[in-house]
Amino acid sequence: MTMMNENPADLLPELLLLGAAVLGLLAGLFLPRRRQWAVAVLCAVGPIAGLVAAALPVGDADLTTFDAFAIDPITHAVRLTVLGATLLVLALAAGPMRGNARETEAYVLILLASLGTIAMAAASDLLVFVAAYLLASIPAYALAGFAKDARGTEASMKYFLMGALLGIVMLAGVTLLYGVGGGTSYETLREGLGEAPGGVVAVGVVALFAGVSFKAGAVPAHHWVPDVTEGAPPVVAAFVTTVPKVGALAAAFRIAQEVLAGTAVDWRLLVAVVAAGTMTLGNLAAFAQTNVRRLLAYSTISQAGYLLVPVAVAGRTDLAEPALLFYLAAYAVTNVGAFAVVVAWGGDELSDHAGLVRRSPALALSLAVCLLGLIGTPPTAVFVGKVLAFAAAIDGAYTWLAVVAAVNTVASVFYYLRWIAPVFGRAPAERRPIAGETLVIACTAAVLSVVLGIGSGVAFTLG
């Protein structure tokens, strides 16, 4: 049974993140530009302290605090994943953002969007979910146009307009579900929607998932992903294609499991079709890309499709929840690692990476590990995540979806190898300066991907 509580200490990781953002903003007002690096350190303290605070209650009994915020395994996993990924992104941003006139704002916006992401996944009330959705979205729109150049402005505008449109559609869905469900808390909706008119519930669910699909970068709300990934600074692209996706998919899983499980609407088929369409479209579009950032953009779209597989079988198999949560952590580490190589090397075209191994063996090896991880090659973490997701689909009577995902995984090998093969070729790469900290982050992410993969494999074997 889930306990009810109103102790602010239960929200300590979120409060630490908020406190770091506020203190960072205040410090940035008084520090001269050459010393704004101190804000990066101050903002990094928030996720570090948050990770400690998030790890302490893992294993405690599930509870709901302030009637709207669930503290359970989903929240624990999302907290650790988002805080860890945010810390990596902050470290990655420290070099490129140093000396920028709006350096402080970049760090603060990243923290606020991360806070909204965690709240989105932990919300157990649609009103809190909507507020968290806005908190996760608005800082990301500003970050997308951070460079203030033509491409960044266009990307930010498209991102904002699509987000505003789908946000309104989502609000309409929330209104419909509130009207027929008799409340906004997930518990009330679970009881109220069971007897509500099926057609109205179906429209409300589709509209609600429109907003979630936008944050996850899933079809048909994926159009912003390539433009933002190519137009925004690479650090921002790493953040917006990784962190918000974690919160959106965890929130979708919670809503599916806690709200929709008792309704007569066939939402599973809707999610399964969206998953199949997302992974297929993402992989097909990635085949022809020669720009590595657009290739990673379509890669993140395809990954959203794989990540939707456990959502489609939420509540039908016990494998669904661990599959989604582990896959989200594996994806976050691996995707940030791939973008770290782009930040470190600076080349946007595939040809720019030819012979990279001769210039920087460590960077080339990190890139290979991260791209093989995104394919789902052992012993990386994404391999374990995909195996769990496919097993969940089969156990949840969606074998056809597991087959589609497996075929897509094989097909994706082609475009990832188009990037990996030249890296280890004979052609010498152009000499470029590589910042030591970005190289360390790329290597760290690659090592984490392998350690998570091997560690989880050993744990599952012993278990």
3-state secondary structure labels for all residues of 390-451: HHHHHHCCCHHHHHHHHHHHHHHHHHHHHHHHHHCCCCCCCCCCCCHHHHHHHHHHHHHHHH
| C-alpha count within 13 angstroms, C-beta hemisphere, residue 59 | 2
Amino acid at 434: I
The residues with which 157 forms a beta bridge, in sequence order, are: none
Q: Is residue 323 part of a domain?
A: yes
Tokens of 439: 């190289």
Tokens of 463: 């278990």
**Calpha distance 452→449 (Å, rounded):** 5
Q: Is residue 293 part of a domain?
A: yes
Q: What is the pLDDT at residue 2? A: 65
* CA-closest candidate to residue 214, choices 266, 278, 272, 154: 278
Q: Is this model's pTM higher than 0.85 or not?
A: yes
| 10-residue mean pLDDT series, the chain (463 residues) | 77 97 94 87 96 93 90 97 97 89 93 98 96 96 91 93 96 96 93 89 96 95 95 95 97 96 88 97 95 96 97 95 96 96 90 89 95 94 95 96 97 95 79 82 95 85 66
Q: Is residue 149 part of a domain?
A: no
Peptide bond into 220 cis (omega under 30): yes
Judged by phi (left if over 0) then psi (alpha if -120 to 50, else beta), residue 182 lies in left
Q: Is residue 192 part of a domain?
A: no
Tokens of 206: 């589709």
| Residue that is written with structure tokens 């080339």 in the block | 364
Helices and strands in the chain, H and E counts: 19, 3
**Calpha distance 359→9 (Å, rounded):** 49
| Residue that is written with structure tokens 């505008």 in the block | 157
Give the pairing type, strands 3-5 and 69-71: unpaired
Q: What is the pLDDT at residue 290? A: 94
Q: Is residue 366 part of a domain?
A: yes
Q: Is residue 311 part of a domain?
A: yes
Find the angle CA(143)-CA(346)-CA(306) to the nearest 5 degrees.
65
**DSSP secondary-structure letter at 351?**
G
**Calpha distance 364→352 (Å, rounded):** 12
For residues 307 and 324, the answer to whether their CB atoms sit within 8 Å is: yes
Q: How many domains does the chain have?
A: 1
Task: Calculate the alpha carbon distances from 241 to 124, 269, 293 in Å.
Answer: 24, 25, 11
Q: Is residue 329 part of a domain?
A: yes
Instruction: Estimate the crossing angle of helix 436-462 against helix 381-395, to 10 degrees.
Output: 40
Q: Is residue 107 part of a domain?
A: no
Label residues 311-348 b or e (16+ Cβ within 10 Å = b). Answer: bbbbbbbebbbbbbbbbbbbbbbbbbbbbbbbbbbbbb
**Calpha distance 8→5 (Å, rounded):** 9
Q: What is the pLDDT at residue 428? A: 65
Task: Calculate the alpha carbon distances from 209 to 171, 218, 412 in Å.
Answer: 11, 10, 26
Give the pairing type, strands 63-65 and 3-5: parallel
For residues 338 and 298, the answer to whether their CB atoms sit within 8 Å is: no
For residues 336 and 296, the answer to whether their CB atoms sit within 8 Å is: no
Task: Calculate the alpha carbon distances from 459 to 72, 73, 333, 387, 452 in Å.
Answer: 21, 18, 19, 14, 10
Domain with 379 in it: 269-462
